[in-house]
Copies of this chain bind each other. A is one copy, B any other.
Amino acid sequence: MIQTNLHASRPISFKQVKIEDDYWSVYTRLVRDTVIPYQWEALNDRVSDAEPSYAIRNFRIAAGHEEGEFGGFVFQDSDLAKWLEAVGYSLSVQPDPELEAIADGAIDLIADAQRPDGYLNTYFTIKAPEQRWTNLFDCHELYCAGHMIEAAVAYYEATGKRKLLDAMCRFADYIDTVFGPEPGKLRGYDGHQEIELALVKLYKTTGEEKYAKLAAFFINERGQEPNFLLAEWEKRGRTSHWQAGVTRKPDPAYNQAHKPVREQDVAVGHSVRAVYMYTAMADLAALTGDESLLEACRKLWRNMVDKQMYITGGIGSTHHGEAFSFDYDLPNDTVYAETCASIGLIFFAHRMLQIEADAAYADVLERALYNNVAGSMQRDGKHFFYVNPLEVWPEASEKNPGRHHVKPVRQKWFGCACCPPNVSRLLSSLGEYIYTTDDQTIYTHLYIGSEAEAALPGEAKVKLKQETDYPWNGAVRLTVALGEPRTFAIALRIPSWADGFEVKVNGQTLQPSDDDVRKGYLYVSRTWGDGDAIELALPMEARMVEANPSVRANAGKAAMTRGPLVYCLEETDNGSHLSAIAVKPDAKLEAVLEPDVLGGTVVLKGEGFRDDQADWSGELYRPFSRKAEPVALQWVPYSAWGNRGAGEMSVWFRMKE
């Protein structure tokens, strides 16, 4: 099936990239030093005041090390898998024998819990062994398998240890005997996509083509008639794992199984399921050269990004089903914008970027990473947002049930804890998102201080050192280290938010032609010698952004941004009743590095108006006479909100001349 290869470029692996960056090192150190240890405690139910995970305990029971009942959600195994995946990335960046020993112990436990036929799932093993593969719709069996496969690949890549990889190959081999087009096999797929992209990774690591074929089977089968998920529901007696009794007919659009994937052009249903699927579709399109699959990816991408994405890179605007609602429906207050969905969007963007070196993908990747995802984690590494709102009124979150899902403060480990370990695995593999390479070009997608080693054709290596204060400052210095001079291009992403740029090579300003900038990348092509340096200067001005008028929620409003960062106002800086604040369209916004705000943050300062509240005497309505006073405002990056106590927060503000 692997007929051709659409890859324009391939990532430089996280193993070859060492992040040394004032901005991101805070996060990556936090993940390594706090999040990963904390999550291990959580997986072991040792975090007081947080909902228990039961994850390790389930594995102990399934392995026969302990007696007891299954605890937590049916997909609880995936939390341990995502933790192990993060550990793998982390170990490759920073060896830690103690952590590795813990991980090896967890892997031993997983292997003990695996059934002789290769099957692994603590829920079904403990609770319903006879019900394997009878409720793909609800029960996440293949989803959990996918996460464990991803963990196995990451851990093997990082440590060279094969135990989990071999176990997961056995599991995948077994799955391959259960699912497929052949008579006697299930022509089905999981209710929650994930295994598809995992199997592609397993293929890439092992070279076993059958894993890629199985991934393609799942993708191609999805949404075909007769609908597998509905037939399975009928066969089960119309029951659900989640509800007692006979249930109403489910809507396969929730699982993106309402039509064949190549016919889908609007992002619908559960947003995490959607982007995990699109990621696998892009993977398979790249592997097989399937243009129809790639075209579906492009359409789905455009729909999400042009019509269903918050300015923070959040997707999925309703908490009902954690789902997309419809084009231009982006309410700021009843928002969902789940952390995991933005992580999946980053995965999808990363895959598309490898097929087409188009900065449009990297712009979205950067937007989701620097805003929605970075903002989901507290600066203590122990509290997380699941829902990432663009407007918070804490009293409404508490007292209006339609906004209960919007938390004004980050929560400890969740019972359904998909997000924290997902953040952890993304941030610990962040190095992999900076560069891709092909035979002639090294693409720089993200500006993150780091040292990377890229392979050039003919076994040559080139080292790239990136130095920058990004996102506080748009100056980036890239230094090349290599043995012999070599001719190749370094392509620098010019973000769509940058109003121009300046670039120097070895101190000499370049005057790039229009041809040198293609799809958002400046190609600097020359014979590079050891010590050559590029200096890129991206103008980083605060700017006001407006939304398409079809986005009703943002009509007449603007959001402040600077570089990749979206900014917000918080009550702690600007008082309560943020809705009373309006911004002048021509307001001068000054970017100021405040060393005392969150350990050094560039804030925006400017003047606006605040509606007068003092002259109201308790009435609810009165003749219009809105009086507003000038007021000094201070914005902080959205990613930093909620780190200084609970309070109101808002991204979009109305404009007032």
A interface residues, Cβ below 8 angstroms from B: 244-245, 305-307, 309, 311, 317-321, 325-326, 329, 331, 333-334, 393, 395-396, 399-402, 543-552, 555-556, 558-559, 577, 579-580, 582, 585, 611-613, 616, 618-626, 654-657
Q: Would you mind naming 14 contact pairs between A and B with Cβ atoms under 8 Å apart?
A: A306-B619, A319-B402, A320-B402, A334-B334, A393-B552, A402-B402, A544-B624, A546-B622, A548-B620, A549-B611, A551-B620, A556-B626, A556-B654, A556-B656
Indicate if the CB atoms of A620 and B305 lie closer than 8 Å.
yes
Chain B residues in 8 Å Cβ range of A319: 402
Chain B residues in 8 Å Cβ range of A396: 325-326, 329, 552
Chain B residues in 8 Å Cβ range of A333: 331
Indicate if the CB atoms of A402 and B306 lie closer than 8 Å.
no
Indicate if the CB atoms of B550 and A577 lie closer than 8 Å.
yes
Nearest CB in chain B to that of A555: its residue: B579
Indicate if the CB atoms of B654 and A623 lie closer than 8 Å.
no
Indicate if the CB atoms of A613 and B546 lie closer than 8 Å.
no
Distance to closest chain B CB from A265 (angstroms):
14
Indicate if the CB atoms of A318 and B624 lie closer than 8 Å.
no
Apart from A325-B400, A556-B626: 4 A-B pairs, beta carbons within 8 A: A309-B620, A318-B402, A393-B552, A546-B626
Given A321-B401, A400-B318, A549-B577: A311 in contact with B621 (beta carbons within 8 A): yes
Number of copies of chain A assembled together:
2
Indicate if the CB atoms of B621 and A318 lie closer than 8 Å.
no
Indicate if the CB atoms of B556 and A401 lie closer than 8 Å.
no
**Cβ contact of A546, chosen from B329, B399, B556, B621, cutoff 8 A:** B621
Chain B residues in 8 Å Cβ range of A326: 395-396, 399-400
Chain A interface mostly: loop
Given A329-B399, A611-B556: A620 in contact with B654 (beta carbons within 8 A): no
Indicate if the CB atoms of B580 and A555 lie closer than 8 Å.
yes
Chain B residues in 8 Å Cβ range of A558: 624, 626
Chain B residues in 8 Å Cβ range of A331: 333, 400
Indicate if the CB atoms of B402 and A334 lie closer than 8 Å.
yes
Indicate if the CB atoms of B613 and A549 lie closer than 8 Å.
yes
Provide the bound-state CA to CA distance between A331 and B558, in Å.
21
**Cβ contact of A624, chosen from B309, B545, B622, cutoff 8 A:** B545
Provide the bound-state CA to CA distance between A622 and B621, in Å.
35
Chain B residues in 8 Å Cβ range of A577: 549-550, 552
Distance to closest chain B CB from A466 (angstroms):
27
Nearest CB in chain B to that of A576: its residue: B550
Provide the bound-state CA to CA distance between A550 and B318, in Å.
25
Given A555-B579, A556-B611, A577-B550: A543 in contact with B623 (beta carbons within 8 A): yes
Chain B residues in 8 Å Cβ range of A555: 579-580, 611, 654
Distance to closest chain B CB from A247 (angstroms):
13
Distance to closest chain B CB from A403 (angstroms):
9
**Cβ contact of A244, chosen from B245, B317, B545, B621, cutoff 8 A:** B245
For the complex of A and B, 5 pairs with smallest distance between CB atoms: A320-B401, A555-B579, A544-B624, A326-B399, A552-B579
Nearest CB in chain B to that of A656: its residue: B556
Nearest CB in chain B to that of A648: its residue: B552
Distance to closest chain B CB from A561 (angstroms):
9
Given A318-B401, A400-B317: A546 in contact with B625 (beta carbons within 8 A): yes
Indicate if the CB atoms of A545 and B623 lie closer than 8 Å.
yes
